[in-house]
Protein backbone atom coordinates (compact mmCIF):
# COMPACT_ATOMS: atom_id res chain seq x y z
CA UNK A 1 0.00 0.00 0.00
CA UNK A 2 1.51 3.33 -1.02
CA UNK A 3 2.49 6.02 1.42
CA UNK A 4 4.13 4.25 4.34
CA UNK A 5 7.55 3.61 2.73
CA UNK A 6 9.36 2.05 5.72
CA UNK A 7 12.92 3.28 6.35
CA UNK A 8 15.34 0.73 7.78
CA UNK A 9 18.76 1.39 9.24
CA UNK A 10 21.62 -0.99 9.97
CA UNK A 11 20.71 -1.27 13.66
CA UNK A 12 17.35 -2.90 12.89
CA UNK A 13 15.25 0.24 13.44
CA UNK A 14 12.26 0.61 11.09
CA UNK A 15 10.49 3.97 10.84
CA UNK A 16 7.11 4.57 9.20
CA UNK A 17 4.61 7.38 8.85
CA UNK A 18 0.96 6.38 8.58
CA UNK A 19 -0.66 7.49 5.28
CA UNK A 20 -4.27 8.62 4.89
CA UNK A 21 -5.21 5.30 3.26
CA UNK A 22 -4.38 3.38 6.46
CA UNK A 23 -6.45 5.54 8.84
CA UNK A 24 -8.26 3.37 11.41
CA UNK A 25 -6.22 0.22 10.81
CA UNK A 26 -5.10 -1.84 13.80
CA UNK A 27 -1.48 -1.18 14.70
CA UNK A 28 -0.44 -4.85 14.45
CA UNK A 29 -2.10 -5.26 11.03
CA UNK A 30 -0.58 -2.04 9.72
CA UNK A 31 2.93 -3.05 10.78
CA UNK A 32 2.55 -6.57 9.41
CA UNK A 33 1.56 -5.20 6.01
CA UNK A 34 4.06 -2.38 5.80
CA UNK A 35 7.12 -3.91 7.47
CA UNK A 36 6.69 -7.35 5.89
CA UNK A 37 6.55 -9.44 9.08
CA UNK A 38 3.83 -11.80 10.28
CA UNK A 39 1.14 -10.40 12.52
CA UNK A 40 2.01 -12.91 15.25
CA UNK A 41 5.62 -11.74 15.30
CA UNK A 42 4.58 -8.06 15.34
CA UNK A 43 2.29 -8.77 18.30
CA UNK A 44 5.19 -10.32 20.23
CA UNK A 45 7.31 -7.23 19.54
CA UNK A 46 4.47 -4.96 20.67
CA UNK A 47 4.24 -6.83 23.97
CA UNK A 48 8.01 -6.55 24.35
CA UNK A 49 7.83 -2.77 23.97
CA UNK A 50 9.77 -2.71 20.70
CA UNK A 51 7.13 -0.61 18.91
CA UNK A 52 6.51 3.08 19.61
CA UNK A 53 3.81 5.35 18.18
CA UNK A 54 4.78 9.01 18.45
CA UNK A 55 7.36 7.87 21.05
CA UNK A 56 4.74 6.08 23.16
CA UNK A 57 4.00 2.36 23.54
CA UNK A 58 0.58 1.28 22.26
CA UNK A 59 -1.40 -1.96 22.21
CA UNK A 60 -1.88 -4.15 19.15
CA UNK A 61 -5.48 -2.90 18.81
CA UNK A 62 -4.51 0.78 18.67
CA UNK A 63 -6.12 2.43 15.63
CA UNK A 64 -3.47 4.27 13.65
CA UNK A 65 -4.02 7.85 12.49
CA UNK A 66 -2.63 9.68 9.47
CA UNK A 67 0.73 11.20 10.33
CA UNK A 68 1.47 8.84 13.24
CA UNK A 69 5.22 8.21 13.51
CA UNK A 70 5.88 4.55 14.21
CA UNK A 71 9.23 2.99 15.03
CA UNK A 72 9.95 -0.71 15.31
CA UNK A 73 13.22 -2.01 16.72
CA UNK A 74 13.70 -5.44 15.19
CA UNK A 75 15.58 -7.64 17.69
CA UNK A 76 18.63 -9.60 16.51
CA UNK A 77 18.21 -13.32 15.81
CA UNK A 78 17.99 -15.40 18.96
CA UNK A 79 20.97 -17.60 19.87
CA UNK A 80 20.78 -20.92 18.12
CA UNK A 81 18.76 -19.55 15.22
CA UNK A 82 17.80 -21.99 12.50
CA UNK A 83 20.52 -22.86 10.04
CA UNK A 84 19.93 -23.09 6.32
CA UNK A 85 20.98 -26.47 4.92
CA UNK A 86 21.06 -27.22 1.17
CA UNK A 87 19.13 -30.48 1.35
CA UNK A 88 17.11 -31.96 -1.54
CA UNK A 89 13.55 -30.69 -1.95
CA UNK A 90 10.76 -32.15 -4.09
CA UNK A 91 9.08 -28.86 -5.05
CA UNK A 92 5.56 -29.24 -6.45
CA UNK A 93 4.82 -25.52 -6.83
CA UNK A 94 6.44 -22.22 -5.93
CA UNK A 95 5.82 -18.53 -6.50
CA UNK A 96 6.60 -15.33 -4.61
CA UNK A 97 4.17 -16.11 -1.77
CA UNK A 98 4.10 -19.88 -1.20
CA UNK A 99 6.04 -23.07 -1.73
CA UNK A 100 4.44 -26.53 -1.85
CA UNK A 101 6.69 -29.54 -1.35
CA UNK A 102 6.29 -33.31 -1.33
CA UNK A 103 7.90 -34.47 1.94
CA UNK A 104 9.52 -37.91 1.85
CA UNK A 105 8.95 -40.35 4.72
CA UNK A 106 11.53 -40.22 7.49
CA UNK A 107 12.14 -36.47 7.25
CA UNK A 108 11.34 -34.33 10.31
CA UNK A 109 9.49 -31.12 9.42
CA UNK A 110 11.21 -28.73 11.85
CA UNK A 111 13.99 -28.84 14.48
CA UNK A 112 13.09 -29.94 17.97
CA UNK A 113 14.27 -32.27 20.72
CA UNK A 114 16.61 -34.81 19.14
CA UNK A 115 16.56 -33.10 15.74
CA UNK A 116 18.65 -29.92 15.72
CA UNK A 117 19.16 -29.97 11.95
CA UNK A 118 18.61 -31.94 8.78
CA UNK A 119 14.91 -31.09 8.74
CA UNK A 120 12.57 -29.95 5.99
CA UNK A 121 12.60 -26.44 7.47
CA UNK A 122 16.41 -26.27 7.29
CA UNK A 123 16.15 -27.19 3.61
CA UNK A 124 13.41 -24.62 2.99
CA UNK A 125 15.51 -21.87 4.58
CA UNK A 126 18.38 -22.67 2.21
CA UNK A 127 16.07 -22.58 -0.81
CA UNK A 128 14.10 -19.47 0.20
CA UNK A 129 15.90 -17.45 2.94
CA UNK A 130 12.97 -15.02 3.17
CA UNK A 131 11.14 -17.62 5.30
CA UNK A 132 13.40 -16.67 8.23
CA UNK A 133 11.25 -13.63 9.08
CA UNK A 134 7.81 -15.15 8.48
CA UNK A 135 5.63 -16.35 11.36
CA UNK A 136 6.86 -18.10 14.49
CA UNK A 137 10.59 -17.53 15.06
CA UNK A 138 11.06 -21.23 15.91
CA UNK A 139 9.13 -22.48 12.86
CA UNK A 140 9.30 -19.67 10.28
CA UNK A 141 7.06 -20.02 7.26
CA UNK A 142 5.30 -23.14 8.49
CA UNK A 143 1.51 -23.18 8.79
CA UNK A 144 1.01 -26.93 9.33
CA UNK A 145 3.12 -30.04 9.71
CA UNK A 146 3.34 -33.76 8.98
CA UNK A 147 4.69 -36.46 11.27
CA UNK A 148 8.23 -37.61 10.56
CA UNK A 149 7.14 -40.90 8.98
CA UNK A 150 4.13 -39.48 7.12
CA UNK A 151 4.89 -38.53 3.53
CA UNK A 152 3.21 -36.04 1.23
CA UNK A 153 2.20 -32.46 0.61
CA UNK A 154 3.05 -29.49 2.78
CA UNK A 155 2.71 -25.76 2.06
CA UNK A 156 4.86 -23.00 3.58
CA UNK A 157 4.47 -19.21 3.45
CA UNK A 158 7.16 -16.98 1.97
CA UNK A 159 5.50 -13.66 2.85
CA UNK A 160 3.65 -12.24 5.84
CA UNK A 161 0.52 -11.89 3.70
CA UNK A 162 0.65 -15.56 2.75
CA UNK A 163 1.31 -16.67 6.33
CA UNK A 164 -1.65 -14.75 7.72
CA UNK A 165 -3.96 -15.99 4.95
CA UNK A 166 -2.95 -19.65 5.21
CA UNK A 167 -3.17 -19.67 9.01
CA UNK A 168 -6.65 -18.20 8.72
CA UNK A 169 -7.68 -20.81 6.14
CA UNK A 170 -6.42 -23.68 8.29
CA UNK A 171 -8.16 -22.29 11.37
CA UNK A 172 -11.42 -21.84 9.44
CA UNK A 173 -11.13 -25.41 8.06
CA UNK A 174 -11.08 -24.10 4.50
CA UNK A 175 -8.07 -26.18 3.48
CA UNK A 176 -8.88 -29.45 1.70
CA UNK A 177 -6.58 -32.30 2.76
CA UNK A 178 -6.80 -35.91 1.59
CA UNK A 179 -4.62 -38.74 2.86
CA UNK A 180 -4.20 -42.38 1.87
CA UNK A 181 -3.40 -45.07 4.43
CA UNK A 182 -2.99 -48.83 4.54
CA UNK A 183 -4.67 -50.08 7.70
CA UNK A 184 -5.38 -53.31 9.52
CA UNK A 185 -8.75 -55.04 9.24
CA UNK A 186 -12.00 -54.67 7.30
CA UNK A 187 -14.49 -51.86 7.67
CA UNK A 188 -18.15 -52.77 8.04
CA UNK A 189 -19.18 -50.11 5.52
CA UNK A 190 -17.44 -48.48 2.56
CA UNK A 191 -17.61 -44.93 3.95
CA UNK A 192 -17.96 -43.34 7.32
CA UNK A 193 -17.04 -40.57 9.72
CA UNK A 194 -15.14 -40.67 13.00
CA UNK A 195 -16.06 -37.95 15.49
CA UNK A 196 -14.09 -38.43 18.70
CA UNK A 197 -12.30 -35.86 20.83
CA UNK A 198 -8.50 -36.12 20.93
CA UNK A 199 -6.06 -35.02 23.63
CA UNK A 200 -2.91 -36.11 25.43
CA UNK A 201 -2.83 -39.76 26.46
CA UNK A 202 -3.60 -40.02 30.21
CA UNK A 203 -0.34 -41.86 31.00
CA UNK A 204 1.88 -41.79 27.88
CA UNK A 205 2.53 -38.10 27.26
CA UNK A 206 4.17 -38.61 23.86
CA UNK A 207 0.94 -40.09 22.51
CA UNK A 208 -2.56 -38.80 21.84
CA UNK A 209 -5.79 -40.54 22.75
CA UNK A 210 -9.57 -40.45 22.32
CA UNK A 211 -9.74 -41.10 26.08
CA UNK A 212 -7.94 -37.92 27.15
CA UNK A 213 -9.16 -35.99 30.18
CA UNK A 214 -9.29 -32.79 28.16
CA UNK A 215 -9.83 -33.63 24.52
CA UNK A 216 -10.61 -31.33 21.61
CA UNK A 217 -13.19 -31.95 18.90
CA UNK A 218 -11.83 -34.01 15.99
CA UNK A 219 -13.58 -35.25 12.86
CA UNK A 220 -12.24 -37.59 10.16
CA UNK A 221 -14.11 -38.87 7.09
CA UNK A 222 -12.97 -42.13 5.51
CA UNK A 223 -13.65 -44.15 2.35
CA UNK A 224 -12.49 -47.66 1.44
CA UNK A 225 -10.39 -47.72 -1.73
CA UNK A 226 -9.24 -51.35 -1.90
CA UNK A 227 -9.13 -54.48 0.24
CA UNK A 228 -6.34 -57.06 0.51
CA UNK A 229 -5.69 -60.25 2.45
CA UNK A 230 -5.08 -61.14 5.29
CA UNK A 231 -7.02 -58.53 5.84
CA UNK A 232 -5.60 -55.12 5.06
CA UNK A 233 -7.51 -52.12 3.68
CA UNK A 234 -6.41 -49.11 1.66
CA UNK A 235 -8.46 -46.09 2.76
CA UNK A 236 -8.84 -42.46 1.78
CA UNK A 237 -9.03 -40.04 4.71
CA UNK A 238 -10.25 -36.45 4.95
CA UNK A 239 -9.50 -34.75 8.28
CA UNK A 240 -12.01 -32.00 9.00
CA UNK A 241 -9.97 -30.83 11.98
CA UNK A 242 -6.21 -30.73 12.55
CA UNK A 243 -5.35 -32.43 15.84
CA UNK A 244 -1.95 -33.97 16.54
CA UNK A 245 -1.82 -37.59 15.26
CA UNK A 246 -5.55 -37.27 14.44
CA UNK A 247 -5.76 -39.81 11.62
CA UNK A 248 -3.58 -42.38 13.37
CA UNK A 249 -5.48 -42.07 16.65
CA UNK A 250 -8.93 -42.12 15.05
CA UNK A 251 -8.15 -45.20 12.97
CA UNK A 252 -6.67 -47.03 15.97
CA UNK A 253 -9.78 -46.19 18.00
CA UNK A 254 -11.85 -48.12 15.43
CA UNK A 255 -9.52 -51.11 15.66
CA UNK A 256 -7.89 -50.25 12.31
CA UNK A 257 -4.42 -48.87 13.13
CA UNK A 258 -2.18 -47.79 10.27
CA UNK A 259 0.17 -50.54 9.09
CA UNK A 260 3.65 -49.84 10.47
CA UNK A 261 2.42 -47.49 13.20
CA UNK A 262 4.09 -48.92 16.30
CA UNK A 263 2.84 -46.13 18.57
CA UNK A 264 -0.83 -46.96 17.98
CA UNK A 265 -0.84 -50.73 17.57
CA UNK A 266 -0.05 -51.31 13.91
CA UNK A 267 3.70 -51.92 14.01
CA UNK A 268 6.21 -54.70 13.46
CA UNK A 269 4.88 -56.94 16.23
CA UNK A 270 1.55 -57.23 14.46
CA UNK A 271 3.25 -57.96 11.12
CA UNK A 272 5.32 -60.68 12.76
CA UNK A 273 2.22 -62.24 14.32
CA UNK A 274 0.54 -62.63 10.92
CA UNK A 275 2.19 -65.59 9.09
CA UNK A 276 0.97 -64.44 5.67
CA UNK A 277 2.69 -61.06 6.08
CA UNK A 278 6.10 -62.02 7.41
CA UNK A 279 7.62 -61.46 3.98
CA UNK A 280 6.23 -57.93 4.05
CA UNK A 281 7.87 -57.02 7.35
CA UNK A 282 11.27 -55.89 5.94
CA UNK A 283 9.48 -53.45 3.61
CA UNK A 284 7.39 -51.76 6.30
CA UNK A 285 9.73 -49.30 7.98
CA UNK A 286 7.19 -46.61 8.96
CA UNK A 287 3.46 -45.92 9.18
CA UNK A 288 1.94 -46.16 5.71
CA UNK A 289 0.21 -42.78 5.70
CA UNK A 290 0.54 -40.31 2.81
CA UNK A 291 -0.80 -36.75 2.37
CA UNK A 292 -1.90 -37.10 -1.25
CA UNK A 293 -3.97 -33.97 -1.96
CA UNK A 294 -3.85 -30.39 -0.70
CA UNK A 295 -6.17 -27.57 -1.73
CA UNK A 296 -6.51 -23.94 -0.60
CA UNK A 297 -7.06 -20.41 -1.92
CA UNK A 298 -3.98 -18.57 -3.08
CA UNK A 299 -3.20 -15.95 -0.40
CA UNK A 300 -2.73 -13.10 -2.87
CA UNK A 301 -4.99 -13.87 -5.84
CA UNK A 302 -7.73 -15.93 -4.20
CA UNK A 303 -7.35 -18.53 -6.96
CA UNK A 304 -8.30 -22.10 -6.00
CA UNK A 305 -5.08 -24.15 -5.79
CA UNK A 306 -5.08 -27.96 -5.86
CA UNK A 307 -2.07 -30.27 -5.69
CA UNK A 308 -1.51 -34.02 -5.72
CA UNK A 309 1.54 -36.09 -4.77
CA UNK A 310 1.93 -39.72 -5.89
CA UNK A 311 2.51 -42.43 -3.33
CA UNK A 312 6.20 -42.74 -2.41
CA UNK A 313 8.17 -45.71 -3.65
CA UNK A 314 8.00 -47.77 -0.44
CA UNK A 315 4.21 -47.45 -0.25
CA UNK A 316 3.79 -48.34 -3.93
CA UNK A 317 6.06 -51.37 -3.60
CA UNK A 318 4.04 -52.75 -0.71
CA UNK A 319 0.74 -52.29 -2.56
CA UNK A 320 2.15 -53.98 -5.66
CA UNK A 321 3.28 -56.93 -3.59
CA UNK A 322 -0.16 -57.24 -1.98
CA UNK A 323 -1.85 -57.13 -5.40
CA UNK A 324 0.48 -59.81 -6.74
CA UNK A 325 -0.47 -62.07 -3.85
CA UNK A 326 -4.15 -61.46 -4.53
CA UNK A 327 -3.66 -62.75 -8.09
CA UNK A 328 -2.05 -66.05 -7.03
Reduced to 3 states (helix: H, G, I; strand: E, B; else coil), residue 209 is strand
Can you give the pLDDT at residue 10?
A: 47
| Helix or strand holding residue 171 (H, E) | helix 160-171
Please confirm, yes or no, whether 147 is among the known catalytic residues: yes
Residue 35: what are its φ and ψ, rounded to 5°? -90, -15
pLDDT tens, the chain, 328 aa long: 444 556 554 446 788 899 998 999 999 999 888 877 778 888 989 998 999 999 999 999 999 999 999 999 887 655 456 889 999 999 999 999 999 999 999 999 988 766 778 999 999 999 999 998 898 777 899 999 999 999 999 999 999 999 999 999 999 999 999 999 999 999 999 999 999 999 988 888 778 999 988 899 999 999 999 999 889 999 999 999 999 999 999 999 999 999 999 999 998 888 887 877 777 878 899 999 999 999 999 999 999 999 999 999 999 999 999 988 776 6
Per-domain residue ranges for the chain? Answer: 7-73, 91-171, 176-296
- Class assignment of domain 91-171? alpha beta
What is this structure's pTM? 0.76
How far, in Å, are 74, 123, 228, 248, 326 from residue 119 at the CA level? 26, 7, 35, 22, 38
The pLDDT value recorded for residue 78 is 55
Backbone angles phi, psi at 85, to 5 degrees: -130, 125
Q: Name, in order, each residue with C-beta under 8 angstroms of 146's C-beta and a sequence gap of 6 or more.
A: 103, 109, 152, 154, 291
> Would you give the end-to-end CA distance of the chain in angstroms?
66
Selected catalytic residue, list 68, 97, 147, 149: 147
pLDDT at 9: 47
Which CATH number applies to 176-296: 3.40.50.720, 3.30.2350.10, 3.40.640.10, 3.90.1150.10? 3.30.2350.10
pLDDT of residue 249: 97
What does the pLDDT read at residue 5? Answer: 54
Give the pLDDT confidence score for residue 84 in this predicted structure. 93
Question: 148 preceded by cis ω (within 30°)?
Answer: no
Fold agreement between 91-171 and 176-296: yes
Instruction: Give 7-73's CATH code, choosing from 3.40.50.620, 2.30.140.10, 3.10.290.10, 3.40.50.720.
Output: 3.10.290.10
Amino acid sequence: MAGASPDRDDSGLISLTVPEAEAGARLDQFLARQAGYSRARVQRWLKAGLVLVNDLAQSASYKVRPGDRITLTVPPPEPGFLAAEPLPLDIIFEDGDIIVVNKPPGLVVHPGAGHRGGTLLNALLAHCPELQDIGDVSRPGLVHRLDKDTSGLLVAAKTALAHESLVRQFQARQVDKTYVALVWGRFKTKTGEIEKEIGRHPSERQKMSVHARRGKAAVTQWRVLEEFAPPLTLVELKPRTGRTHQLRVHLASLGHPVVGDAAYGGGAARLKAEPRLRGLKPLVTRQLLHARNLGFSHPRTGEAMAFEAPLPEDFQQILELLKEREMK
